[in-house]
Chain A
């Protein structure tokens, strides 16, 4: 059974750093892209970026380029999303997703349970 299990909720102050994780199981972790999707409170879904754990090829949405860093450790089948300096506007639920890529078509067939990040002074 494919599973993406994310790390727990976080409460941080503006300016602090943060790294959240997503552990994949039940499939070949290095053979599928893993991505991150943001959902701000009461709002819709936003694609942030993806990484191919097999070779660490990483792509970002223009909206998130330079704002976050996506990485992966294939030895432990885990992907990460990190911030160096959080802002209040980073408050959101973050989902990791298994990203299927087929002939320039991209979609998400499995989702993690979400990690709620709250940034408040």
Chain B
């Protein structure tokens, strides 16, 4: 079955740049999406279609894609950005096979 691979954890100091990667064989053909989940809250969409930002999401959140890897970048990290981040995509078979990455815990030191 199709899988998306993320690092379990990333740590950065406030004001630095955090980069969270997500790898999957179908990513060159399928868009990736990113969700932020803070403790005790429902996830929130922060990036769609690899690099688009929904309204209301701060400009410090950006996304990029290169081959089989997509990257969520948070520039000028703030303490409030500490959360779990999940990438999500689908396989390229044309069926509803939605997949989430395992999640990355972002710690702001």
Q: Is the beta-carbon distance between A107 and B42 smaller than 8 angstroms?
A: no
B44 touches A (CB below 8 Å): yes
For A107, what are the chain B residues with a Cβ–Cβ distance below 8 Å? 31, 33, 45, 48, 88
A 51-104 contacts with B by CB, 8 A: 59, 61-62, 95, 104
Instruction: Decide: A59 near B96, CB < 8 A? Known: A105-B31, A109-B54, A114-B42.
Output: yes
For B35, what are the chain A residues with a Cβ–Cβ distance below 8 Å? 45, 108
Instruction: Decide: A45 near B48, CB < 8 A? Known: A50-B96, A105-B30.
Output: no
The dominant DSSP class at the A interface is strand
For A46, what are the chain B residues with a Cβ–Cβ distance below 8 Å? 100
B24 touches A (CB below 8 Å): no
B99 touches A (CB below 8 Å): yes
For A112, what are the chain B residues with a Cβ–Cβ distance below 8 Å? 42
For A109, what are the chain B residues with a Cβ–Cβ distance below 8 Å? 45, 48, 54
For B49, what are the chain A residues with a Cβ–Cβ distance below 8 Å? 105
Q: How far is the CA of A95 from the CA of B31 in the complex (A)?
A: 22
User: How many residues on B have C-beta within 8 angstroms of the other chain's C-beta atoms?
Assistant: 28
Q: Is the beta-carbon distance between B97 and A108 smaller than 8 angstroms?
A: no
Q: Is the beta-carbon distance between A44 and B100 smaller than 8 angstroms?
A: yes
Instruction: Decide: A106 near B98, CB < 8 A? Known: A44-B86, A45-B86, A45-B103.
Output: yes
Q: Is the beta-carbon distance between B42 and A104 smaller than 8 angstroms?
A: no
B78 touches A (CB below 8 Å): no
Q: Is the beta-carbon distance between B96 and A106 smaller than 8 angstroms?
A: yes
For B42, what are the chain A residues with a Cβ–Cβ distance below 8 Å? 95, 111-114
Residue of B nearest to A113 (CB): B42
Chosen A-B contacts, 14 in total, with CB atoms closer than 8 Å, are A44-B102, A45-B43, A45-B103, A46-B100, A47-B98, A50-B96, A62-B97, A104-B94, A105-B31, A106-B96, A106-B98, A107-B88, A111-B43, A114-B42
The 9 closest A-B pairs by CB, nearest first: A47-B98, A111-B42, A107-B33, A59-B96, A45-B100, A44-B103, A105-B31, A106-B98, A106-B90
* A-B contacts besides A47-B99, A105-B90, A108-B35, 8 pairs, CB < 8 Å: A44-B103, A45-B86, A46-B100, A47-B98, A59-B95, A104-B94, A106-B96, A107-B45
